[in-house]
Structures are given as C-alpha cells and as structure tokens.
Chains A and B, each alone.
Chain A
C-alpha cells in the first residue's frame, strides 16, 4: 500500500478547490458569503452588514437576502459534491482544476419558507443534496442564526446539472 498522503497536501487541495468555486460567483462576494469546510461538510456563513437589511424598523434582514443566501449555499454544495468526487478520485488535480472552466448547476425552481425574522447578526446555512442524478438534482437548505435548532429559513430547490465532457 502507498503511504497516506500528507495531511497538509490534502487540505491544500480541498481548500484551493473550494476557494476557486466560491470566488467564481460574483454575487456571493457581493453579499459577503463565505464557506467553512470540515472534511466534505460545508457551512455557508453570511456575516451581518447594514446593506442586508430589508426592514430598518425591526430591524430585519431582507427576504431577498435570505433567499439569496440559501440559493448560493445550495448551488455551492451541489457543485462541491461534484468537485469533491472528481478531486478525491484523482480525475481532477489542482493543475487541471485551474484549466477546467467551472460549470455550475442552473436553478429550475426554488421555494423559500420564511420561518422567523432574520435578525441583524451573522447567519449560517447548510445544504443537503437529497438526490443528484445525471440531469436533475433536488437540494434542501436550512439556515439559522444563534441556535442551530431554531431555523429562521429553509428552502428546497431543483437544479439542472451541467453536462460533463468526460465520464
């Protein structure tokens, strides 16, 4: 058996691939959305900013901000799942990654359930790919602020998968 790959190389490869994916989405940058990674698990982070307010009296995050955060998280999770598989199987390396154009899934429909007022503080979101076929995928996303168990929004979306050149 070959020796296990040094941990820093594994982390570097995964973090570089994730950064490239997230940096490629201008709208995620506009909103300030970032992603934390633990193994293959991603958590979207939406740091609070005054710009994100919809109702200044309460004050509350704009519903469109919440929908955007959920949809960005769903798309990144779905893309990351594809990327992870290619990266870990060795079909994609850091060198070929930078040469390969990024192909993102396209949203077919997206339904947001607003459960609680979005407070003026950081938000977190995690997506779960419930089904991912060759052509279509179904993704569920949950978002919370202070307490993981008290969601302030959730969403389900369907996506058209990018067609791959190989495999």
Chain B
C-alpha cells in the first residue's frame, strides 16, 4: 500500500482515508494550497434527532480532511497531521442538504502549515462553520 499522504493526487487522497470514505466525502478540487471537499447529509450523521441537524463532529471531520488536502497541495509537501483545529459553528446546517468545505493553506513555514476553512450548505452566502488550524508540515527535500 502506498503512503496516502505522500501522493497528493485528489482521488488517492480521499480513497485512502477509510473514515473520509465512510462519511462519503468527495474531493471536488485541490491545488496550490486550496481544497474543496463535500459530503451528503445522512441520517446516520445526525447529532440532534429533534432537529435532524448533522453533528458538529461530522462537519469537523470534513473540515479537517479538507484542511489536510489543502496542506498536501502546497509545493513540496510530503506528509501532514493536524496539530490543532478550532471550529466556530455559525448556524445549523439545513437537514438534507449537501455540505461543502473549502480550505486554504495561507502560510507555510519549514515545519508548520496554517489553514483557514469554511463550510456551507446549499446557501453558499452564509457559511455554517468556519475553522482555523495548524498542521505539521514535512517537505520532500528533507528526506
């Protein structure tokens, strides 16, 4: 099996991550420090049965994966792992609607990558969540 984190091509990145696959994530775009990943609403991912709203943890998993994909698309990236991730839940995602996350790796140092991300449902004008994170960053030339 190849190292999924050493192969930043879109399909291999998602398919090699069992949990991303379990949540039905689809990588829509990746390149130059940016990534877009989406997932369908699913009754199994609901956090509050009285509202049908998807659990924050599922949105967090989507944004974490998207952030990691954005980091891996930075020039020279070899491996990455999340150091910390903060998520602000701005509004409840509408039940039944697909959720799309967009992440931007806006700064990279020798060892650290900084990421900002947002997530939205069918209403792209009003995000459901925003995230900021720091990721580990190892470069190909360091090996």
Tell me the minimal C-beta distance from B17 to chain A in angstroms. Answer: 5
Q: Which of B56, B68, B83, B92 lies at the interface centre, i.e. has the most chain A CB atoms within 10 A of its CB?
A: B56
In the complex, whether B106 has a CB less than 8 A from a CB of chain A is no
User: What is the minimal beta-carbon distance from B20 to any residue of chain A, in angstroms?
Assistant: 7
User: B57 to A72, Cβ gap below 8 A?
Assistant: yes
Question: Is the beta-carbon distance between A57 and B5 smaller than 8 angstroms?
Answer: yes
B62 CB–A CB distance under 8 Å: yes
Task: Determine the chain A residues whose CB is within 8 A of the CB of B1 once the complex forms.
Answer: 56-57
Taken together as a complex, chains A and B put the C-alpha atoms of A9 and B108 apart, in Å, by 59
How many B residues are at the interface, by size bracket? 35 or more
CB–CB B89/A111 < 8 A: no
| Given known contacts A67-B60, A102-B49, A52 and B19 CB-to-CB distance under 8 angstroms | yes
Contact at B87–A110, with CB atoms within 8 Å?
A: yes
A33 CB to nearest chain B CB (Å): 10
The answer to whether A26 touches B44, judged by C-beta atoms less than 8 angstroms apart, is yes
Contacts of A109 in B (CB 8 A): 86-89
**What chain A residues lie within 8 Å of B18 (beta carbons)?**
50-54, 56, 62
Q: Closest Cβ of chain A: how far from B50's Cβ, in Å?
A: 6
A104 at the interface (CB under 8 A from B): yes
B8 to A: closest C-beta gap in Å: 14
Interface size on A, residues (CB 8 A): 42
B17/A67 in contact, CB under 8 A? no
* Chain B hits for A111, CB < 8 A: 84-87
Q: Mark A15-42, 1 if CB is under 8 A from B, else 0.
A: 0000000001111011100000000000
A50 vs B17: C-alpha distance when bound (angstroms): 10
Q: Chain A contacts of B92 at CB under 8 A?
A: 106
Contact with A along B1-35 (1 / 0, CB 8 A): 10111000000000011111011000000000000
- The CA-CA distance from A64 to B68 in the complex, in Å, is 11
Any chain B CB within 8 A of the CB of A93? no
In angstroms, Cα B50 to Cα A137, docked, is: 21
A84: Cβ under 8 A from any B Cβ = no
Tell yes or no: A148 within 8 A of B by CB.
Answer: no
Is there an interface contact between B50 and A103, defined as CB atoms closer than 8 Å? yes
CA distance A108 to B55 in the complex (A): 12
Give 10 A-B contacts (CB < 8 Å), ordered by A residue.
A25-B46, A27-B54, A31-B57, A51-B19, A64-B20, A64-B60, A69-B57, A112-B82, A113-B84, A114-B82
List 6 additional contacts besides A25-B46, A56-B16, A63-B68; criterion CB under 8 Å. A26-B47, A50-B18, A64-B57, A110-B87, A112-B84, A114-B85
